[in-house]
A and B are shown apart, each in its own frame.
Chain A
Amino acid sequence: MDIQVIDSILEKYEYRHSDIIGIMQEVQHIENFLPEEALRYISRRMEISLTRIFDIVTFYKAFSLKPRGRHIIKICCGTTCHLGGAVQNLEQINRTLNIKDGGTTDDRMFSLETVNCLGACALAPVVVVGDEYYEAVNAGKIEKILSSYPQEEEK
């Protein structure tokens, strides 16, 4: 990761220790995950121990230490989605892409994540791919949804 980009983020937050979560969210937003060398660099520049940084990264579910796919599939597992069949949808994606919750496909196209609730309960069960919401999804619709994401070449 570009050191200058990290520096500009650190500048923006004025190296405030209390903003470490926000800083890492921005880094992850750019890189799609948190590369170890970036964390080491942040730790040095901000004089925050690496232990504390890893404590935070592993505590909050939103942070990932592993590279993630280009399209992140979020399966909502909130109560309404659960009652509507979120588990069946999750199992169907497991079968179709051969990845488990938290996993990434070998070609780095898709990552699969479960989330507690996306607050779109009236449309349950909900599956989100990137920024695109799919409502009232059932296991039969999964393949069609995934096939609308062409296997693009890596940029």
Chain B
Amino acid sequence: MERIRNISDLERIREQILKKRESEKIVLRTCISTGCRAQKSLKVVSALGSAIEEQGLQDTVKIRKTGCHGFCEMGPIMVVEPENIFYRKVRPEDVNEIISQLTEGGIVERLLWKDPVTKEHITSERELPIYKRQKKKVTYRSGRIDPADIEDYIAANGYSALGKALTFMSPAEVIGTVIASGLRGRGGGGFPAGVKWKMCSEAPSDIRYIIANGDEGDPGAFMDRSLMEGDPHSIIEGMIIGAYAIGARQGFIYVREEYPIAIEHLSIAIRQAEEYGILGNNILGSGCEFNIKIHRGAGAFVCGEETALIISIEGRSGTPRSRPPYPAIEGLWGKPTVINNVETFANIPLIISKGAEAYASVGTERSKGTKVFSLVGKVMNTGLIEVEMGTTLREIIFDIGGGIRKCKLFKAVQTGGPSGGCIPITKIDMPVDYDSLREAGAIMGSGGMIVMDGTSCMVDVARYFINFLMYESCGKCVPCREGLKQMHHILENICEGHGEEDDIKTLIELGQFMMTSSLCGLGSTAPNPVLSTIRHFRSEYESHIYDKKCFAGVCKNLFEYVIDAELCNGCALCRLKCPEGAISGKKKKPHSIDSSKCIKCGICFNSCKQEAILVR
């Protein structure tokens, strides 16, 4: 292949690629990202390959192995273009039928998505409710291009923002544009990205570094993974533009080891960018030099914190240090360093190519652009979504997410991972942006959104996060290390049924102390899950402490399963499934549970079709 020397080379190569692809009449966009791969999409791809060969369709039908489409639960996902037919849960056995229908122009109806309410089949991907209300900008290419093929990225207008920045803009203009766009860091804190770049570029030094943070440690979040797997070049492009703006020659991408596919796709993307002359010396004839190295994390949540991450890249155990000095002034090896989340970098090409004004026209007053969320939990449609900042929770959960599973009641949504909080149903019409989330006691975080229904106990949720953080605290500062331990102790007691009168007060006191005195973001935001659940679900704490009751049916010491004699039709399913033989009753007569034998495993509760088993 040919090295791209300048912007006209880039345009010429783009045209060549597009011309070469004119013969592709039908494209099968098949997802091979983690979600679909876990559901055996690679087998589907290889079955497709042999079926196409058997039918002699190699010249007209092309399989495109893409990144995440977003509707992960329905995987393996395949979209047939140009008709835009969306097939879900495709199995290798279905492949022959799909291929034979291609030539006849037909549709395999049983693989279409069916609306659970109207029972209607929906053919086109664009018409699916989960996609219809989204605004895919950052994730637009993921699911459309082959992330392991730079030609796909270039064909989809990739690297044209880089060409524009390096050819027509000065570094100061790039920084000015990013500031004007109002882009705030997508990793959680929400610090204006352009301001960070400006600070770094003004810090006196001959060496500067740029780091992309892909250490997505928040449980329940996988936006960064999908982006790194599905569109790695957009992150690289954003990083090169950033490097040009601040004058960095070396960049790092820090990726969790738990994301092997992301590491693989990024490595391929970096290698291809080097081969095409997009990374290396004299990028696009600008005289700018930049290289990127991948650094694999080794399983430490705290390394998502910027100072800990920097120390980890330096080859030490990643414990945070106090700020200031901020990394933008004194970062990696003491040099000024810009560290942004990978999603932040993926926004940069959009800003440069469309201009700051167009970018800022989307979103709210103080939160611009779009945000990617992972919508998971007890919601009908789970997966990855991208919406305009300021979209309400109701739109996200009910219009895009399709409402709560099994027609249960929405109780809360947890955002921001362990540093975030729980937002109750009363705030369902709240717009989702940095500031309103903070006001509600949660944070944007990296964008995990976990929907909970009545079967989730809020005290247990708080205990879960505190337990998580207790293990992940690096132990360097006392408030975080000891505070979490004490909080966990109190919460454990409450869940076991040993809660005492002053527990809530002590939790609040501890939380406020940790917030003001911890060394890094991990400790100072750690009380959020506890404080937000106390604030919005205080009565649940009180019923645990005073009445010794957990009405969600989670804390084993604090509830009993009983069978409602009026609802029970005596089908005996629960009696047969109970591992302890605690259920008795005659066929077609109401059954009953012997609470002295019951171990509260929940098998009967989940299997009863009459919903006759109640938590009391």
Interface, chain A (partner B; CB < 8 A)? 16-22, 25, 52, 55-56, 59-63, 77-83, 88, 115-124, 126, 133-135, 139
Contacts and interface: CB of A to CB of B under 8 A. Distances in A.
B219 A21 contact: no
A88 B34 contact: no
Contacts of B226: 119
Contacts of A123: 35, 38-39, 72-73, 75
Contacts of A62: 257, 297-299
Nearest to A79: B220
A22 B226 CA distance: 23
Nearest to B70: A122
A79 B38 contact: no
11 contacts: A17-B315, A19-B315, A25-B257, A56-B316, A116-B301, A120-B72, A120-B222, A121-B220, A122-B374, A134-B38, A135-B38
Contacts of B259: 119
B38 A133 contact: yes
Contacts of B300: 59-61
Interface of B: 34-35, 37-39, 72-73, 75, 216-222, 225-226, 257-259, 295-301, 312-319, 374, 376-378, 382-384, 414, 417, 448, 450, 452, 456, 461, 464-465, 468, 472, 474, 601-602
B64 to A, nearest CB: 22
B219 A59 contact: no
A126 B38 contact: yes
A52 B384 CA distance: 40
Contacts of A55: 316-317
A18 B217 contact: no
A59 B318 contact: yes
A22 B252 CA distance: 14
A88 B601 contact: yes
B376 A124 contact: yes
Given A19-B315, A80-B219, A120 B298 contact: no
A41 B36 CA distance: 42
Given A83-B378, A116-B472, 14 more contacts: A20-B315, A60-B317, A61-B300, A63-B298, A77-B219, A79-B450, A88-B601, A117-B218, A117-B219, A117-B222, A117-B258, A121-B450, A122-B384, A123-B72
Nearest to B216: A119
A79 B219 contact: yes
A78 to B, nearest CB: 3
B374 A121 contact: yes
Contacts of A122: 35, 72-73, 374, 376, 382-384
The interface centre, meaning the residue of A60, A81, A88, A122 with most chain B CB atoms within 10 A of its CB, is A122
Contacts of A80: 219-220, 376-377, 450
A96 to B, nearest CB: 14
Contacts of B225: 119
A106 to B, nearest CB: 26
Contacts of A61: 298-300
Contacts of B221: 117, 119, 121
B405 to A, nearest CB: 11
A59 B258 CA distance: 17
Contacts of B383: 122
Contacts of A134: 38
Contacts of B38: 120, 123, 126, 133-135
B231 to A, nearest CB: 16
A20 B295 CA distance: 11
Nearest to B296: A25
A88 B312 CA distance: 34
Given A120-B34, A121-B376, A52 B316 contact: yes
B454 to A, nearest CB: 12
B606 to A, nearest CB: 8
A134 B40 CA distance: 10
A21 B257 CA distance: 12
A9 B503 CA distance: 54
Contact of B312 (A21, A52, A121, A124): A21
Nearest to B472: A116
Contacts of A139: 601
A83 B450 CA distance: 10
B449 to A, nearest CB: 10
B314 A83 contact: no
B517 to A, nearest CB: 23
Nearest to B465: A79
A56 B318 CA distance: 8
Contacts of B257: 25, 62
Contacts of B448: 79, 121
Contact of B315 (A18, A81, A115, A119): A18
